[in-house]
């Protein structure tokens, strides 16, 4: 039996590269975009897509690497780049490959995106704007192409050990990350791979159109119960600082 | 009211439709407003006339917010006219009403540059002036399609999903400057021109029609958007930031 082809459109992130290796190990024929191919050049993509038509079964489209820059420092070029890299590429990939799947009546498209489709990162307005846009694209694909056998999923990846660069001076999201996970440790980067493998199966069909938050529970973190000793220490500090009110958020 | 008489609002896309409803309400409440339009000058002049007849104070400026120079001029001319800026309402948007396979890259770029780029550009240009305001506010008009798919215009829904996250990011980022940023997830609104995709049909079986609900789920009126904007711009709403408030007359419940 011929191997099913799975295209990962962008291998810039370590998660995408590890998924590539993992799925190859499961027997999929893994495909990457040839060097120099522009994902937002529809004509170019269409021509290349024609050559894959035969056995392409699924496409995984990862979000671009995280990009942080304060609004007042962003330029027109930054906006254009974010729109091309974060939004237009997702749209062109969808139009070309989901189009192939629709014609065939079968296929999977997975948007391997980010929790920043829901949760701001701080100073990441252009990046998160793209995530929010692609989240809506995934929902539209489910509506427009779902009746033609195309299954679509939007995965909100959490922070992994390979994301050291999300630290912002106005959000504590990326600080003390280990504490935010109920298991008290950051999931290994390949923890996503099992989910991706499942979504490629027909068993995942009832989840089509879903947002799947794969963040190990970190986004839900709000604080934690502390010990009596810690509480006493906080009260002592409070007295020292002569503050009338202290709100304990459980994080620095 | 005394405070409103000094305050200045710039509402993009306010020559007609939703934006016109917003400026009519704000001017009635004593705001001085910049009515902005791009393509339909005739309707914008009518809106300006309505405001002035009602005793309101407003100016009319024409600009394409997808052009960086024109977006900058729009903000600067508003400040030149009134001396300050307290409220920016991003509302100017377009809708192609096309299915995914009917879009091409040029159309998408044009859409981003107005629906997302216009909002982004206007906030950047307005920021230095908003920082000087004693009670600055930013309101982004989004759509119920920032969360629920349209089924007939993926490009439009993507821009609205982008605005949802842009609003949340800026609420965090501009919170440092004391500027609340909120969005309105607007449902179907009664405006001058009918919108939508004629090739899309929302099938509703006869047996699900409930006469008791007829007239209860309804279109939103542009002035009702204005009242919500007025609240968001008030001191009473100062704790509200990063919110996406759904205003849809109950449309999303069915």
Alpha-carbon distance B206 to B191, whole Å? 28
**A18-22, A155-159, B61-65, B216-220: range with lowest mean pLDDT:** B216-220
Element spanning B46, H or E: helix B41-53
Kindly identify which residue of chain A lies nearest to residue B200, measuring between CA atoms.
A144
Residues A123 and A153 in one domain: yes
Chain A partners of B148 at a C-beta cutoff of 8 Å?
Answer: 139
Q: Which of A45, A96, A140 to mutate to test the interface with B (most CBs of B within 10 A)?
A: A140
A150–B contact, CB cutoff 8 A: no
Of B217 and A85, the structure prediction assigns the larger pLDDT to A85
A174–B contact, CB cutoff 8 A: no
Chain A partners of B145 at a C-beta cutoff of 8 Å?
Answer: 136
Is B68 a residue whose pLDDT tops 60? yes
Could you read off the pLDDT of B22-59 as tens digits, one per residue?
999 999 999 999 999 999 999 999 999 999 999 999 99
State the CATH number of the domain containing residue B21: 3.40.50.720
Please answer whether residues A107 and A53 qualify as being in contact, where contact means their C-beta atoms are separated by less than 8 angstroms: no
CB spacing of A134 vs B150 below 8 angstroms: no
63-122 in chain B: CB under 8 A from chain A? 68, 99-101, 103-105, 108-109, 112, 116-117, 120-121
Could you read off the pLDDT of B95-145 as tens digits, one per residue?
999 999 999 999 999 999 999 999 999 999 999 999 999 999 999 999 999
Strand order in the sheet with B32-37: B57-62, B32-37, B8-11, B87-90, B137-141, B181-186, B244-247
Please answer whether residues B74 and B63 qualify as being in contact, where contact means their C-beta atoms are separated by less than 8 angstroms: yes
CB spacing of B176 vs A170 below 8 angstroms: yes
pLDDT of residue B218: 78
Chain A partners of B150 at a C-beta cutoff of 8 Å?
Answer: 140
Q: How many domains does chain A have?
A: 2
Is B69 a residue whose pLDDT tops 80? yes
How far is the CA of A65 from the CAs of A42, A68, B184, B248, in angstroms?
Answer: 22, 10, 29, 36
Q: What is the pTM of this model?
A: 0.91
CB spacing of A99 vs B101 below 8 angstroms: yes
Residues A227 and A215 in one domain: no
Alpha-carbon distance A107 to A103, whole Å? 10
How far is the CA of B139 from the CAs of B8, B122, B159, B186, in angstroms?
Answer: 14, 11, 16, 12
Residues A158 and A134 in one domain: yes
Q: Residue for token digits 């969808």?
A: A94
A123–B contact, CB cutoff 8 A: yes
Contacts of A106 (CB under 8 A, 6+ apart): A57, A149, A150
In this structure, the dihedral spanned by the alpha carbons of residues B233, B122, B15 and B191, taken in order and rounded to 10 degrees, is -70
Across A153-162, B208-217, B224-233, the highest mean pLDDT is recorded for B224-233
Secondary-structure breakdown of chain A: helix, strand, coil percentages, each rounded to the nearest 5: 50, 15, 40
Is B2 a residue whose pLDDT tops 60? no
Burial of residue B81 (CB within 10 Å: 0-12, 13-18, 19+) is: middle
Alpha-carbon distance B137 to B9, whole Å? 9
How far is the CA of A177 from the CAs of A11, A170, A195, B28, B119, in angstroms?
Answer: 25, 15, 22, 50, 32
Chain B partners of A131 at a C-beta cutoff of 8 Å?
Answer: 165
Could you read off the pLDDT of B160-210 as tens digits, one per residue?
999 999 999 999 999 999 999 999 999 888 887 766 667 776 666 666 666
Alpha-helical (H) ranges within B61-153 are 68-82, 105-111, 117-130
pLDDT of residue A252: 45
Residues A94 and A18 in one domain: yes
Please answer whether residues A174 and A168 qualify as being in contact, where contact means their C-beta atoms are separated by less than 8 angstroms: yes
Alpha-carbon distance B238 to B140, whole Å? 16
Residues A90 and A187 in one domain: yes
By residue range, what is the domain housing residue B213? 2-253
Alpha-helical (H) ranges within B83-153 are 105-111, 117-130
What is the average pLDDT across B83-87?
A: 98
What is the b/e burial string over B30-55, where b = at least 16 CB atoms within 10 angstroms of the residue's CB?
bbbbbbbbbebeebbeebbebbeeee
A160–B contact, CB cutoff 8 A: no
Alpha-carbon distance B114 to B96, whole Å? 12
pLDDT of residue A5: 96
pLDDT of residue A10: 95
Map residue A64 onto helix, strand or coil: coil
Residues A82 and A183 in one domain: yes
Residues A211 and A250 in one domain: no
State the CATH number of the domain containing residue A163: 3.40.50.720
pLDDT tier for residue B251 given thresholds of 50, 70 and 90: confident
pLDDT tier for residue B1 given thresholds of 50, 70 and 90: very low
Residues A209 and A138 in one domain: yes
* Predicted complex ipTM: 0.90
HSE-CB at A183 with a 13 A cutoff on CA atoms is 7
- For chain B, where are the E strands, in sequence order? 8-11, 32-37, 57-62, 87-90, 137-141, 181-186, 244-247
Chain A partners of B149 at a C-beta cutoff of 8 Å?
Answer: 136, 139-140, 142-143
pLDDT of residue B213: 63
Of B21 and B219, the structure prediction assigns the larger pLDDT to B21
Burial of residue A211 (CB within 10 Å: 0-12, 13-18, 19+) is: middle
Residues A165 and A236 in one domain: no
C-alpha of B77 from chain center: 20
pLDDT of residue B108: 94
By residue range, what is the domain housing residue A191? 5-221
Chain B partners of A98 at a C-beta cutoff of 8 Å?
Answer: 100
Q: How many domains does chain B have?
A: 1
Residues A243 and A171 in one domain: no
DSSP state of A164: G
How far is the CA of B245 from the CAs of A56, A116, A210, B146, B198, in angstroms?
Answer: 42, 19, 23, 11, 28
Kindly identify which residue of chain B lies nearest to residue A140, measuring between CA atoms.
B149
One digit per residue, the tens of pLDDT, for chain A of length 252 reads: 578 999 999 999 888 999 999 999 999 999 999 988 999 999 999 999 999 988 999 999 999 999 999 999 999 999 999 999 999 999 999 999 999 999 999 999 999 999 999 999 999 999 999 999 999 999 999 999 999 999 999 999 988 777 767 778 888 888 888 888 888 877 776 778 999 999 999 999 999 999 999 988 888 888 888 899 999 998 888 887 755 555 555 544
Nearest chain A CA: its distance from B142 CA (Å): 12
Residues A42 and A98 in one domain: yes
Residues A145 and A231 in one domain: no
Alpha-carbon distance A11 to A29, whole Å? 16
């Amino acid at each position: 039996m011929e191997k099913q082809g799975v295209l990962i459109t962008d291998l810039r992130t370590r998660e995408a590269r590890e998924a590539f290796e993992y799925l190859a190990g499961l027997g999929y024929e893994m495909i990457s975009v040839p060097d120099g191919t522009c994902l937002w050049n529809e004509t170019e993509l269409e021509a290349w897509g024609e050559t894959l038509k035969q056995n392409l079964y699924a496409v995984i489209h990862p979000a671009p690497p995280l990009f942080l820059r304060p609004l007042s420092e962003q330029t027109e070029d930054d906006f254009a780049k974010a729109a091309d890299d974060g939004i237009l590429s997702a749209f062109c990939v969808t139009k070309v490959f989901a189009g192939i799947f629709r014609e065939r009546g079968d296929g999977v498209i997975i948007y391997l995106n980010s929790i920043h489709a829901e949760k701001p990162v701080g100073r990441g307005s252009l990046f998160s704007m793209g995530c929010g846009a692609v989240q809506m694209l995934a929902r539209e694909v489910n509506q427009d192409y779902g009746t033609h056998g195309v299954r679509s999923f939007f995965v909100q990846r959490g922070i992994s050990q390979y994301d050291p660069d999300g630290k912002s001076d106005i959000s504590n999201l990326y600080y003390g990350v280990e504490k935010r996970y109920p298991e008290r440790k950051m999931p290994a980067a390949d923890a996503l791979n099992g989910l991706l493998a499942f979504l490629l199966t027909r068993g995942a069909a009832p989840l089509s159109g879903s947002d799947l938050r794969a963040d190990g529970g970190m986004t839900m973190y709000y604080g934690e119960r502390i010990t009596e000793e810690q509480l006493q220490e906080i009260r002592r500090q409070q007295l020292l600082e002569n503050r009338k009110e202290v709100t304990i958020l459980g994080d620095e | 009211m005394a405070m409103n008489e000094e305050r200045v609002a710039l509402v993009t896309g306010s020559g007609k439709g939703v934006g016109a409803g917003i400026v009519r309400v704000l001017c009635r409440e004593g705001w001085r407003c910049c009515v902005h339009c791009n393509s339909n000058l005739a309707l914008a002049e009518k809106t300006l006339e309505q405001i002035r007849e009602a005793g309101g104070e407003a100016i009319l400026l024409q600009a394409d917010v997808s052009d960086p120079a024109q977006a900058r001029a729009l903000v600067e001319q508003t400040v030149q006219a009134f001396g300050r800026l307290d409220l920016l309402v991003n509302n100017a948007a377009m809708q192609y009403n096309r299915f995914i396979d009917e879009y091409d890259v040029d159309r998408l770029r044009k859409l981003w540059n107005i629906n997302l780029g216009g909002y982004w550009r206007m906030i950047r240009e307005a920021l230095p002036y908003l920082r000087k305001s004693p009670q600055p506010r930013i309101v982004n008009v989004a759509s119920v399609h920032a969360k629920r798919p349209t089924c007939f215009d993926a490009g439009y829904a993507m821009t609205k999903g982008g605005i949802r996250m842009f609003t949340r990011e800026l609420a965090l980022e501009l919170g440092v400057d004391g500027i609340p940023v909120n969005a309105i997830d607007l449902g179907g609104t009664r405006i001058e021109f009918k919108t939508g995709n004629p090739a899309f049909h929302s099938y509703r079986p006869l047996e699900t029609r409930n006469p008791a609900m007829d007239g209860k789920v309804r279109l939103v009126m542009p002035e009702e958007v204005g009242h919500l904007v007025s609240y968001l711009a008030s001191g009473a709403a100062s704790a509200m930031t990063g919110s996406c408030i759904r205003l849809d007359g109950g449309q999303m419940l069915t």
